[in-house]
Structure 1
Amino acid sequence: MQGYVDARKLPGASVLILQDGLEAYFHQTGLRDVAAHLPFERDTVARIYSMTKPVTSVALMMLLEEGRIHLDQPLSDILPEFAECRALVQGATRIDQTKPCAVPTLHQCLTHTAGFSYPFNPGVLPDEMAARKLVFSARSGSLAERTAELSTLPLAFPPGERWEYSVGIDVIGRVVEAVSGQSLDRFFADRIIGPLGMRDTAFTVPMDARDRFACLYTPLAGDAMEFNAAEKSSETLRLTDRSDKSPYLDAQTFSGGGGLVGTIDDYMKFAEMLRRGGSIGGDRLLSPHTLSFMMRNHLRGDIASMGPTSFAEQPMDGMGFGIGGAVVLDPGRARCPGSVGDFSWGGMASTFFWVDPVHALSVVFFTQLSPSSSYPVRPQLKALIHGALQ
């Protein structure tokens, strides 16, 4: 961590490790605001981006346990705007080259096999999404409006055919709203964030935490969210979102795929809930059987076997995908020390977490550098921790 900060590759960072529920290690270094020389501290509030996806997935599984949805349910049962789905034909070069297809299921939305995409992926659909600025960013309108616009586009492929990292879990966030009758921020606060005591976690930076909110940096010359960009900036820590001007100070879009901000201790409470099988501190969110089901591989093979062309927050070889997160199937094929059954995901600002059922580990890493593909901090962190295990 210090090496990355000294080389001006990361502005600052923190890592928290629990084993058997007890704190084994914590370290912080560097700055949350480089220009103001403000330190990156344990209570620094950071953008966790796609680490929101497991939270939204837990929300849907809570509704499943209540018998209010089932995973093979067509998305159109809940969001009628998806009733007439079309997918791009193979080899399409235009967005209007489509054919009728099945409606994605909730399970396919959760596992990135629904046919949705992201603007930063390669392909016809991502290009159209980028042209329309169809993203679920903090100030892009209501979740209902974003999802309705998404329904006017074809899918990248017929549901179930491939794996492609996507806005599918943003759509699941809208499903949670429609089924529960609550806005996603309210559902999170009442059912997940509140019970777990994640006091600094929300879609909008809490008022009493604004002086602890970090700036966001990028090594790119252009869009910090462009994962495939090759153009590097002469400044390795180019400021791209100021803490005092950020859209996260007043979020309008409750992005279930990437909208939360919070602290490292807050997210550790969520990670420990996953590791402990659905409960922490006397509050049970889910059954341990449901959590075990979530953290199994739900694909027919590893991610690589499903022909992805998209960006992913993890390696694809030797990695499966469960409900809202990746699952290690074979550490050797993933080329990174780890345990079979590790459940993890990361965020666009290079944050990362995993829970290890073999060694009873929960690990959360925070920094604020986009895109997350900039440096191999995640496999290096896993290697360091496994090297330290007795």
Structure 2
Amino acid sequence: MLHETIIARRAFLGSALASGALLGATPAHAFLRETNAYPALDAFIRGFVTRKQLAGTLATVGKGFAAPTVLSAGTLANDSNKPVDIDSLWRIYSMTKPITGMAAMILIGEGKLKLDQPLADILPAFANMKVLKSADGPLSETVPAKTPITIRHLLTHTAGLGYNIIQSGPIKAAYESNGIVPAQLSRVSLPGIPNPKPAPSLKEFAERLAKLPLVYEPGTKWSYSVALDLMGRVIEVVSGKPFDQFLSERIFAPLGMKSTYFRVPQSQVARLTTNYLPLGPVLLPVDVASNSIYLDAPAFPFGGAGLVTSARDYDRFLMMLLGEGAIGDVRIMAPATARLGMSNLLPPGVSTAGTFAGGEGFGAGGRVSLPNSPRGPGVYGWGGAAGTIAWVDTTRKMRVGGYAQYMPAEAMPFQSGLPEAIARDLV
């Protein structure tokens, strides 16, 4: 079904990173348009606009801690004459996951969480979980879980949790009826695309989730899931602050990320892009900026796919990762903590072969390249359902972001082709 693909492949970094990825506020005039430096990338993003496949596209490439080169084409929407730029606002969906993962790493670095700590220590309702005998089988046919869910499992999608955009059968229906859903999409109904009402709070989300069986035995299988949404609840319980407040105080404000929102202020709607669904040669608007679902307060802050941000802001996040937890004198976590979050945290014996993670490792909410990867170790990042993609390459000291707004991400080769385009330039 269309709904299965709208968000299910939001994180299409698999072949992208494997095939070629390397990868205080700065005044606008400091950003360069170096088309001579990145001709293949420039031609790549412009092509989608020239062919009228997308309304607007943008890419950033940063070397070391210098201001990024910004390449852009097109406008905020097909009916807009305002060009996209580094301050345009994009729905990044699952590119929220690395931010949530690093928020958890801050608490791990402070000793308030432990990587292999049982989840039930923080959320007792997750003790004594049951596991479905069959992933798409009856909810009544379960066995006791042999292993407790841990923080590591949540960070790496190995907790055995499900996703209504991935699962099928009774567990999918149970997730939707209980509001265990990953993100907002649109305020309008779209043919063939269910739009379940989310749980009314992050606390209620976690409590309802704990009552449902797991899809897989914890620690045995990589399966894309609501784990990073649940991590938001863990963070607020451990920190004693609402999850969105924790992100604001510990990540966004210190890093100068002034345009990152779970809810876009009405005053900023002029910067918001429109999101589209490609239907043959037609781009159907699914979330128009002026009437966006993101102008409303979400039911709760979705730690797995809830953020809207600018390319400028996300580049600040990537710069912090490149600085191993710091930008200049501003440090939000220890170097060892940042390195740990960007390392392969998968439980022993778990493989991501045949998944969105493309046979690579997985760290705190993002895919991690391995020593035998085509580009070697040091690449950490993830993508989003609406075509966005971003990564940092700690070996080559680079950071890259790509931005577009269409769903599903595999409907056209923007997300998958952008790493290949920049690889041609870097060769």
Quickly name the TM-score band, shorter chain normalised: 0.7 to 0.9
Percent pairwise identity: 36
Could you tell me which amino acid in structure 1 is paired with residue 345 of structure 2? Answer: H
Q: Is 1:116 aligned with 2:161?
A: yes
The answer to whether residue 66 in structure 2 is matched with residue 22 in structure 1 is yes
Structure 2 counterpart of 1:340, from 377, 389, 392? 377
Task: Choose the corresponding residue for 1:187, options 226, 242, 246.
Answer: 246
Name the structure 2 match of 1:89: 133
Work out whether residues 222 and 350 of structure 2, in 8 Å CA contact, stay in contact via their aligned partners in 1. no
Matches of 1:91 and 1:22 in 2, distance apart? 47
**Structure 1 partner of 2:217:** 158
1:197-241 deviations in Å (ceiling 9; x for gaps): 10011211134322111111112xxxxxxxxxxxxx245411111
Correspondence for 1:298 among 320, 345, 351: 345
Please list the CA deviations of residues 318-346 of structure 1 after superposition, one character each: whole Å capped at 9, or x if unmatched.
Answer: x11111110112676xxxx6442211111
Kept in 2: contact 1:339–1:356 (CA 8 A): no
**Normalised TM-score (structure 1):** 0.88
Q: Distance in 1 between matches of 2:235 and 2:414?
A: 33
Change (3 A) 1:136 1:144: farther
- The answer for the alignment partner of 1:216 in structure 2 is 275
Partner of 1:376: 413
Q: Is the 8 A contact 2:219 2:350 kept in 1?
A: no
Matched, 1:278 2:325: yes
Q: What does the per-residue CA deviation read over 1:122-153, in whole Å, with 9 as the maximum and x for residues that have no partner? A: 43433432454421435832111222211121
Structure 2 residue aligned with 1:202:
261
Cα distance in 1 for residues equivalent to 2:206 and 2:293: 20
Which whole-Å CA distance do the structure 1 matches of 2:78 and 2:66 have between them? Answer: 32
Deviation larger for 152-161 or 93-102: 93-102
2:324 alignment partner, SS class: coil
Q: Once the two structures are superposed, what CA deviation does each residue of 1:345-388 show, in whole Å capped at 9, x if it has no partner? A: 11111111111122210011111111222223234222222222
Aligned equivalents of 2:325 and 2:50: distance in 1? 39
Q: Is the 8 A contact 1:302 1:321 kept in 2?
A: no
Change (3 A) 1:121 1:287: same
Q: 2:79 aligns with which of 28, 35, 39?
A: 35
| Alpha-carbon separation, structure 1, partners of 2:350 and 2:394 | 19
- Partner letter of residue 109 of structure 1? L
Structure with greater contact order relative to length (CA < 8 Å, sep ≥ 6): 2
The number of residues matched between the two structures is 366
Match in the other structure for 2:398: 361
Matching of residue 48 in structure 1 with residue 99 in structure 2: no
Mapped partners of 1:267, 1:7: distance in 2 = 27
Q: Distance in 2 between matches of 1:31 and 1:67?
A: 46
The one of 233, 256, 269 aligned to 2:316: 269
Provide the aligned C-alpha RMSD in A.
2.1
Q: Deviations over 1:172-208 (max 9, x none)?
A: 1110011111111111111110000100112111343
Gaps of 5+ in 2: 1-44, 185-196
Are the structure 2 counterparts of residues 330 and 68 from structure 1 closer, same or farther at C-alpha, using a change threshold of 3 Å?
closer
